[in-house]
Amino acid sequence: MEALKIIAVCVLSCVIYGVIHDQITARICVEYFTIGHAPVFPTNDPTLLGLGWGIIATWWVGVLLGMPLAFFAHIGSLPKITARQLVRPLVVLMVCSGCIAVLAGLIGYVAASHGWVFLVGSMAKRVPADKHVAFLVDLWAHNASYISGFIGGVILMGVIWRWRLVAEFNNGQSSAE
């Protein structure tokens, strides 16, 4: 049951992050969602697009994060980690991913503004020319979120395993006294 709670906490964390992230990026470039994604919502409203895509694009990330976290939190005989104990580390992971997304968006802005990166092919034709830079800002921020979330998730798995080893060692020390 605790494993399902861990997965649920991860899904909720990722969805909250995704909705906040997409509320911001939908306002930077609504075309990122209306042209750059498959049409799922018949709207150009940034609030609705941010809400919808924030959920669609992140619930599965929460499942993919939650399943191995639950595994690392419960496998074997080491002391177990609860969903409640993972809330704070997940918040830290989301804040770090958000900061990295902002930084990546800024780098994307500078790179696109200087012509170092640019849209090509059909996307360059479909996105209005005056929105290319904003589109690339969103693209860089979104890619950075996924990459930093993946790397941070792997780090968090290692942290959980270490917590459990330390807890086992500390339990062994206190029982030996």
If one counts the domains in the chain, the total is 1
Give the count of beta carbons closer than 10 Å to the beta carbon of residue 19.
17
Q: Specify whether the CB–CB gap between 66 and 4 falls below 8 A.
A: no
Read off the pTM.
Answer: 0.92
Q: Please give the residue range of the domain that contains residue 119.
A: 2-176
pLDDT string in tens for the chain (177-residue length): 999 999 999 999 999 999 999 999 999 999 999 999 998 989 999 999 999 999 999 999 999 999 999 999 999 999 999 999 999 999 999 999 999 999 999 999 999 999 999 999 999 999 999 999 999 999 999 999 999 999 999 999 999 999 999 988 887 665 444
